[in-house]
Amino acid sequence: MIADVLLLIHFGLAAFITIGFFIVPIGYRLGWNWIRKRNLRLLHLFVMGIITTETIVGLTCPLTALENTFRVDDYSLPFISHWVAQILYWNLPRQVFIFLYLVCLGWVLILWKICPPIERVKEV
Task: Write the pLDDT tens digit of every residue in 4-30.
Answer: 788 888 889 989 999 999 999 999 999
Average the pLDDT over 34-43 and give the result.
Answer: 93
- Does the residue 123 lie in any domain? no
- Does the residue 80 lie in any domain? yes
Q: How confident is the model at residue 104 (pLDDT cuts 50, 70, 90)?
A: very high
- Does the residue 53 lie in any domain? yes
Q: Is 70 exceeded by the pLDDT of residue 48?
A: yes
- Does the residue 43 lie in any domain? yes
Give the whole-angstrom CA distance, residue 38 versus residue 120.
8
Structural domain count of the chain: 1
Please, what's the b/e burial string for 49-71 (b: 16 or more CB within 10 A of its CB; e: otherwise)?
Answer: eebbebbeeeeebebbebbeeeb
Q: How confident is the model at residue 77 (pLDDT cuts 50, 70, 90)?
A: low
What is the phi-psi region of residue 37: left when phi exceeds 0, alpha when psi lies from -120 to 50, beta otherwise? beta
Range of the domain at 40: 2-114
What letter does residue 115 receive in the DSSP assignment?
A: S
- Does the residue 121 lie in any domain? no
What are the distances in angstroms from CA 36 to CA 25, 41, 73?
Answer: 10, 7, 45
pTM: 0.76
- Does the residue 25 lie in any domain? yes
Helical H runs in 58-122? 62-71, 79-88, 94-114
Q: Are 11 and 61 in contact (CB under 8 A)?
A: no
What letter does residue 58 receive in the DSSP assignment?
A: T
- Does the residue 119 lie in any domain? no
Neighbours of 26 (CB within 10 A): 11
Give percent of the chain above pLDDT 90.
46
- Does the residue 103 lie in any domain? yes
